[in-house]
Copies of this chain bind each other. A is one copy, B any other.
């Protein structure tokens, strides 16, 4: 057990990695790393018997994930009764070019969290909104105008406990083997990188107002 209250990732039936299980990570830090490095998650829920997957911004604090439920008013409605949800964060790290087409693959890191969403109210909601804001745009909460009660009423923020989660990582060269290794063919990785570009001021920003440090110095 670590200080956050949850031990190593304990697979349940639905969080057990079924395929390529050698790619499953079992420590909680791996889960935090994948979640903390992401900017957008994919939130899954069930509506009218079918799955719905919507992108959402989010933030993590300890073993709690906070989600902005702005991906759709529907999600807030569907989540209200405590229905099961699934949140997945994926990083694509490289295209894996193998000598045989069958072994073409991707290097990636992904975290899948199962649980029940809980919609927040009042001060809890303000706190959740801050966690999401600090994840999406670190430093922006203190720099900008805080939301008042009226604004807060228009936002839906929910939490999801990180108790039931799995992490999968592929970080390896192509795995051609045996007679597939034809050394006249090139094989290897094409890295995929995500980075921030040059900040673009909105039209009304006065000339000469510098880009604030928390934006200017931001790195992936």
Q: A residues engaging B (CB < 8 A)? A: 13-14, 17-19, 39-40, 42-55, 57, 70-74, 84-88, 90, 92, 94-95, 97-102, 104, 106, 108, 110, 112, 114, 129, 133, 136-137, 140-141, 143-147, 151, 154-155, 173-174, 180-206, 209-212, 215, 218
Known: A73-B18, A191-B200, A218-B190. A39 touches B145 (CB 8 A): no
A7 CB → nearest B CB, Å = 23
A39 CB → nearest B CB, Å = 6
Contact A50 B42 (CB under 8 A): no
Contact B144 A101 (CB under 8 A): yes
Known: A14-B47, A46-B46. A186 touches B212 (CB 8 A): yes
Known: A86-B50, A137-B104. A194 touches B193 (CB 8 A): yes
Roughly how many angstroms separate A86 CA and B13 CA in the complex, as a whole number?
Answer: 22
Roughly how many angstroms separate A120 CA and B57 CA in the complex, as a whole number?
Answer: 35
- Chain B residues whose CB sits within 8 angstroms of the CB of A211 once the complex forms: 186, 188
- Chain B residues whose CB sits within 8 angstroms of the CB of A42 once the complex forms: 42, 44, 53, 88, 90
Known: A188-B205, A195-B193. A51 touches B44 (CB 8 A): yes
Known: A42-B88, A46-B49, A97-B140. A173 touches B55 (CB 8 A): no
Contact B145 A133 (CB under 8 A): no
Contact B183 A101 (CB under 8 A): no
CB-contact partner of A104 in B40, B84, B136, under 8 A:
B136
Roughly how many angstroms separate A48 CA and B90 CA in the complex, as a whole number?
Answer: 23
Contact B146 A101 (CB under 8 A): yes
Contact A193 B197 (CB under 8 A): yes
Known: A52-B44, A140-B97. A204 touches B181 (CB 8 A): yes
CB-contact partner of A202 in B14, B51, B187, under 8 A:
B187
A-B contact pairs, 25 of them (CB 8 A): A13-B48, A18-B72, A18-B73, A39-B95, A39-B192, A43-B53, A44-B53, A50-B84, A50-B114, A51-B86, A54-B112, A55-B108, A97-B137, A98-B144, A99-B145, A104-B133, A145-B182, A173-B202, A186-B201, A186-B209, A187-B202, A188-B202, A190-B215, A191-B198, A194-B194
